[in-house]
Amino acid sequence: MGRSPCCEKAHTNKGAWTKEEDDRLIAYIRAHGEGCWRSLPKSAGLLRCGKSCRLRWINYLRPDLKRGNFTEEEDELIIKLHSLLGNKWSLIAGRLPGRTDNEIKNYWNTHIRRKLLSRGIDPTTHRPINHDPAIIINNNISFSGTASSKDEDRKNMSGGGGGGGGLIVGKEEKMISSPVNIITKERCPDLNLELRISPPTYQEPILMMMKSDSDEDVSSTVCFACSTVPQKSKECGCGNSVIITGSSSNSGYDFLGLKTAVLDYRSLEMK
DNA sequence: AACGTCCACAACCGCCGGCTC
DNA sequence: GGAGCCGGCGGTTGTGGACGT
């Protein structure tokens, strides 16, 4: 389909932003709020493309940004999230307050990739370099909830049979070829997700919800898909229905250190 | 000091999905 | 249902500074 250019390139500045441009943008957004990026440059008196303004604001000027070096905890969280989500930088950024997708993407490409390589881990697949690819093809799935060492995890991944409390998929389950199974198997050899597929009796479309450590009720549960908090209707911002289970100690599942409720693989389907 | 190379990161580009008409 | 608009995302590039020779 034909698309008009997002801006008239002949009359827009490019390259690094000047202090004056930053000030104009900040002043305009403070006065009028975010949104309508297409018309913003004209309204704000900026010779910039709307997309450029949006990026500048989101990645650099936003007041809630956390500048400075990534902590070791952030490093590890990024690695774990990347192993699960792949290059979904915006989703990863959603779990790191004050960090932007662009920042995390750059940080990944410059620091973490190298860090993983130095550990002998393929940053794309999160598998040990020279890992036997045949293992990926294996159909038996069991993420043991009790496995602690990486070796043990890998053993389970490679078809070690059923572990207790983990993701258990029977022989006749069609779920075995579900996207999350494949994704998780391929990308997360070292990640103890303690995931569990929700029972097939659920009729509604559901999604994985993540609860922060301090969260006690539904109102503070965050949709993993859209990063919004579901309202009392138990629908989050992306319109998915939400199934909240009891406390994480029994029916919730600890996900990357965050207590979670029921997981449905469809919410994790990759593009 | 001068030059070349590497690195980090801001910014750009093209594409996609959702929404509206 | 299709066309167009818009915001958003992910990949890539450009550039300035750091570092090594």
Exposed e or buried b for every residue in A100-111, given b needs 16+ CB within 10 A?
bbebbeebbeee
The domain A72-128 having CATH identifier 1.10.10.60: the answer here is yes
The gap between A39 CA and C16 C1' (Å) is: 31
Task: Please identify residues in chain A, positions 33-52, with a C-beta within 7 angstroms of any atom of strand B.
Answer: 48-49, 51-52
CATH architecture of A19-61: Orthogonal Bundle (1.10)
Residue A154 CA to residue A124 CA, distance in Å, equals 17
The gap between A264 CA and B19 C1' (Å) is: 27
pLDDT at A243 over 50: no
The gap between A16 CA and C13 C1' (Å) is: 13
Residue A62 half-sphere exposure toward CB, CA atoms < 13 A? 17
pLDDT in tens, A105-123: 888 888 888 888 878 888 8
Is A102's CB less than 7 Å from nucleic acid strand B? yes
- For residue A3, with 0-12 CB atoms within 10 Å meaning exposed, 13-18 middle and 19 or more buried, which class applies? exposed
Cβ neighbors of A70 (< 8 A, separation 6 or more) are A78, A99, A107, A111
Alpha carbon A123 to its chain's center: 16
E strand spans, chain A: 142-143, 167-168, 209-211, 221-223, 253-255, 258-260
The gap between A68 CA and C21 C1' (Å) is: 31
- Per the prediction, chain A carries an average pLDDT of 58
pLDDT at A23 over 80: yes
- Stretch(es) of chain A classified as CATH 1.10.10.60: 72-128
Using a cut of 0.75, tell me whether the model's pTM lies above it. no
Is A57's CB less than 7 Å from nucleic acid strand B? no
